[in-house]
């Protein structure tokens, strides 16, 4: 299976356990890009909509392109009632957008799966002059709030984490900062903060939404998740994450 589509095999689990982004991030993004009813927006690979609704609710002309068939169905289920919602089930790399142009294109932990030599020139060509490219992701720190448990979890990883292909080898190298190498200007990073708390079962379900974890072959994967669950349960049944929601912003020149 193409690794870009591996998440599409677990739509229900992905929908429940993938992290959302902070309201402060969306308020900042909407203000920065001036998103409202008179603007046209494209979301790349929305998954099941972790970053969709705050943008939809601005009343903008919202468009999305989603590679996964199951994710596409989930998006339709969640958002088809919005009159400003439009989505296509296709590959951004090869999709022909015709004469469409956008005031903002954004991605929540998706654009890095597209080679930057394609992602940056194509998004630049689809933006109106002065348009915004916004790229967000979550960095979850669970070492700082529970270091003893973290060290025990790492021992489980040392013994059982054996994917056929590691995350870094599943895709081409991607650097958000390279946007300016392809014609973008005014690149900046803004950070926002949040927290998540999991019990053992939910922590394992969340881990099961990572592409490299899904790719661990059986029976090792089942044993790996069993040991993760046991380790958390035996150590207070709680894993806390201190999240940093990272927002990269850059513009197409006027």
Kindly indicate whether the domain formed by 3-141+172-195+241-251 is annotated with CATH number 1.10.3720.10.
no
Structural contact between residues 113 and 48, judged by C-beta atoms closer than 8 angstroms: no
Query: Is the model's pLDDT at 139 over the cut of 70?
Result: yes
pLDDT of 229: 98
Q: Lowest-pLDDT range, 70-79, 169-178, 190-199, 220-229?
A: 169-178
- What are the DSSP calls for 138-206, one per residue? EEEE-SSS-HHHHHHHHHHHHHH---SS-GGGSS----GGGGGGGT-EEEEEEEEEEEEEE-HHHHHHH
Pick the range with the lowest mean pLDDT from 115-119, 198-202, 208-212, 249-253.
Answer: 208-212
| pLDDT, mean of residues 78-84 | 97
Q: Determine how many CB atoms are found less than 10 A away from the CB of residue 92.
A: 25
Q: In this predicted structure, what is the pLDDT of residue 6? A: 81
End-to-end CA distance of the chain: 41
The three-state secondary structure class of 251 is strand
For the stretch 157-170, pLDDT in tens is 999 998 877 666 66
Its pTM stands at 0.93
Please give the average per-residue pLDDT across 54-74, as a whole number. Answer: 97
Q: What pLDDT score was predicted for residue 8?
A: 84
> What residue spans define the domains of the chain?
3-141+172-195+241-251
The predicted pLDDT at position 253 comes to: 98
What's the pLDDT tens digit per position in 167-185? 666 678 899 999 999 999 9
The predicted pLDDT at position 3 comes to 64
pLDDT of 1 > 60? The answer is no
Cα pseudo-dihedral 4, 168, 63, 194, rounded to 10: 130
**Residue 71: what pLDDT?**
96
**In this predicted structure, what is the pLDDT of residue 212?**
87
- d(CA 42, CA 66) in angstroms, rounded, equals 11
Average confidence score pLDDT of the chain: 94
Instruction: Output the six-digit token pair for 11.
Output: 């739509």
> To 10 degrees, what angle do helices 220-233 and 200-207 make?
150
């Amino acid at each position: 299976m193409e690794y870009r589509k591996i998440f599409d095999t677990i739509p229900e689990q992905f929908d429940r356990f993938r992290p959302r982004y902070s309201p402060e991030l969306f308020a900042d993004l909407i203000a920065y890009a001036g998103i409202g009813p008179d603007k046209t927006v494209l979301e790349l690979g929305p998954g099941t909509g972790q970053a969709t609704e705050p943008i939809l609710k601005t009343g903008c002309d919202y468009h999305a392109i989603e590679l996964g068939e199951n994710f596409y169905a989930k998006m339709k289920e969640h958002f088809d009632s919005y009159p400003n919602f439009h989505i296509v089930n296709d590959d951004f790399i090869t999709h022909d957008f015709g004469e469409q142009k956008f005031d903002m294109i954004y991605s929540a932990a998706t654009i890095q799966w597209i080679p930057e030599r394609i992602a940056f020139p194509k998004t630049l060509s689809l933006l109106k002059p002065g348009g915004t490219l916004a790229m967000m992701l979550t960095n979850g720190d669970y070492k700082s709030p529970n270091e003893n448990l973290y060290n025990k979890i790492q021992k489980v990883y040392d013994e059982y984490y054996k994917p056929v292909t590691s995350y870094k080898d599943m895709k081409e190298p991607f650097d958000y900062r390279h946007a300016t190498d392809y014609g973008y200007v005014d690149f900046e990073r803004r950070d926002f903060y949040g927290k998540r708390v999991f019990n053992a079962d939910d922590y394992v379900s969340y881990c099961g939404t990572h592409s490299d974890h899904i790719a661990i072959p059986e029976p090792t994967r089942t044993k790996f998740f069993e040991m993760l669950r046991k380790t958390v349960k035996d150590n207070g049944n709680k894993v806390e994450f201190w999240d940093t929601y990272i927002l990269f912003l850059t513009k197409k020149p006027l």
